[in-house]
Amino acid sequence: MDIIIVGNGKVGFSLAEQLVKESHNVNVVDLREDPLRRAGDLLDVMTIRGNGVSAVTLREAGADVADLLIAATSSDEVNMVCCLTAKSLGTKYTIARIRNHEYTSSLAELRRNLKIDMVINPESATAVEISRLLRFPAAANIETFCRGRVELIGFRLQEGDFLAGKPLHALSDQIKSMPLLFCAADRGGEVYIPNGSFVPQVGDQMYLIGQPSALDKFFILLGRYSPKVKQVLLVGGGKISLYLAHILDKLGMRLKIIERDPDSCRLISEKFPRAMVICGDGTDSELLESENLTAYDAFVALTDRDEDNLIISLYAIQQGLHKVVAKCNRQNYTGIVRSLGLDSVISPKFITASHILHVVRGLQNSQGSVMNSLHRIADGHAEAMEFTVGPSTRHLGVPLRDLHLRSGILVAVIVRGKEIIIPEGSSCLMENDLVIIIARKSGLSDLNDIYEPEFSFPGTGNIE
């Protein structure tokens, strides 16, 4: 597809990177020379210097024939105008990043009048993600499918867990009878799709999929079930904190927010009368101690600086807090802090990119099965996708054991009406089923892609 990305900031760059990997034609537009040079040097994209609201620049970038335009500059207003202009030039689908809290109330009208097909709000999406983690503290990360009826949970195996050191088929019958499936395992950056003989080891990041109630039971058995989070300490009072406070407030959690800037503190205090707002440096351990850090159930670090967030989160873990979440946009730090025990690292840039990739894949297969959602797990090394089985899907009603699936693909869950099925060899796909697929490599856009090509020519062989 021909894709234009306006604004080559953090989100713009990581999007371009992922889209180039999936072999789309990407044009990057930016006002400044430096980010453009960086994009041109590191990625196989075309760069155009100019203002994204100008029709001349957009036409130069090919907006008249483009399939998709993503406006991700730092200004909401520029993004909106950019989408409007592109649409009138002939771009088929437009996505705008709009993050100002004030616009959220009138978003529907804005979208209709400005002909924006999709609005993304990284800060709000991140807040939703964090709130999910706080609701289910045992998980390092958590994704939901089928409107919350199925959850995918990632957790790290610790010393003494009964899972570690023996193959999965040797687990007790009680666990085997639960409607749960180990769908992926991440061992030092290498992703495995486990079968019965897979032996989990201490330190592996395991991904478990199933009904939320069954997952609860499993974590109780594992001795990992921690009490519900009631008190949360937030450090940093930026946009994400505001969105998060909004959600947590509704859930009835008690909040304490530490923010350095007095004006921001006043603003937060105006909006959330029930929250306690402290004006001070949240990276100062003295302050954290005097605010009784250890008494909290959960700690969330959301300051502007990735490094600060990671360091104070590690400090909180050292102080014995059960649930610690840090915001960090840089992917390369995640591995380092994970080895120090900090599992829940949230990257707004990564979340946004996943949302947009889902849209791009959806646009790619306009007919065929519908992709309802896409989540990237294991630091982007694997993907979990939910599809609706359509009439064009092949091999309906054929037992899975008779099908040739591609390697690195797992049919994890089938949802048929009210029933949630963990597939066995005899299970089959039916029309209107919801099905969740785990794939080790990216690029799947249609449900039919999970099958091994039926006629493989000599020489072309396996795409793997």
Binding site for another protein (CB under 8 A): 23, 25-27, 33, 40-46
Nearer to another protein, 18 or 131 (CB): 18
Q: At its nearest, how many Å lie between another protein and the CB of residue 193?
A: 24
| DSSP, residue by residue, 139-204 | -SEEEEEGGGTEEEEEEE--TT-TTTTS-GGGS-HHHHTSSEEEEEEEETTEEE---TT----TT-
Nearer to another protein, 17 or 379 (CB): 17
Query: Could you tell me which of 140, 260, 257 has the C-alpha nearest to residue 205?
Result: 140
Q: Give, in order, the Cα–Cα distances in Å from 451 to each of 171, 353, 388, 413.
A: 30, 26, 16, 17
Q: At its nearest, how many Å lie between another protein and the CB of residue 43?
A: 8
Burial 116-150 (b: 16+ CB within 10 A, else e): bbebbbbbbbbbebbbbbbebbbbbbbbbbeeeeb
| Residue 125 to residue 48: CA distance in whole angstroms | 29
Nearer to another protein, 43 or 325 (CB): 43
| Residue 79 to residue 96: CA distance in whole angstroms | 6
Q: 331-338 vs 306-318: helix axis angle to the nearest 10?
A: 10
| Residue 453 to residue 456: CA distance in whole angstroms | 6
| Residue 29 to residue 49: CA distance in whole angstroms | 6
Q: 10-21 vs 348-364: helix axis angle to the nearest 10?
A: 40
Q: At its nearest, how many Å lie between another protein and the CB of residue 265?
A: 43
Amino acid 38 reads R
CA 363 and chain centroid, separation: 19
Q: At its nearest, how many Å lie between another protein and the CB of residue 16?
A: 10
Nearer to another protein, 61 or 240 (CB): 61
Nearest 5 degrees, angle CA 114-CA 119-CA 120? 155
Q: At its nearest, how many Å lie between another protein and the CB of residue 335?
A: 17
Q: At its nearest, how many Å lie between another protein and the CB of residue 26?
A: 5
Nearer to another protein, 61 or 301 (CB): 61
Based on DSSP, count helices (H) and strands (E) in the chain, helices before strands: 14, 22
Q: At its nearest, how many Å lie between another protein and the CB of residue 92?
A: 17
Q: Is 361 helix (H, G, I), strand (E, B) or coil?
A: helix
**CB of 162 closer than 8 Å to CB of 129:** no
Q: At its nearest, how many Å lie between another protein and the CB of residue 175?
A: 40
195 burial type by CB count under 10 A (0-12 exposed, 13-18 middle, 19+ buried)? exposed
What are the start-end ranges of the H helices in 283-364?
A: 285-290, 306-318, 331-338, 348-364
Nearer to another protein, 26 or 138 (CB): 26
Query: Could you tell me which of 229, 259, 214 has the C-alpha nearest to residue 241?
Result: 259
Q: At its nearest, how many Å lie between another protein and the CB of residue 309?
A: 28
Paired strand residues for 96? 71, 119
Calculate Rg over the CA atoms of the chain: 23
Nearer to another protein, 41 or 419 (CB): 41
CA 35 and chain centroid, separation: 25
Nearer to another protein, 319 or 331 (CB): 331
Nearer to another protein, 57 or 283 (CB): 57
Q: At its nearest, how many Å lie between another protein and the CB of residue 365?
A: 21
Q: Which two tokens stand for residue 180?
A: 């749960």
104 burial type by CB count under 10 A (0-12 exposed, 13-18 middle, 19+ buried)? middle
Q: At its nearest, how many Å lie between another protein and the CB of residue 357?
A: 18
Nearer to another protein, 44 or 431 (CB): 44
Nearer to another protein, 46 or 110 (CB): 46
Nearer to another protein, 51 or 388 (CB): 51
Q: At its nearest, how many Å lie between another protein and the CB of residue 27?
A: 6
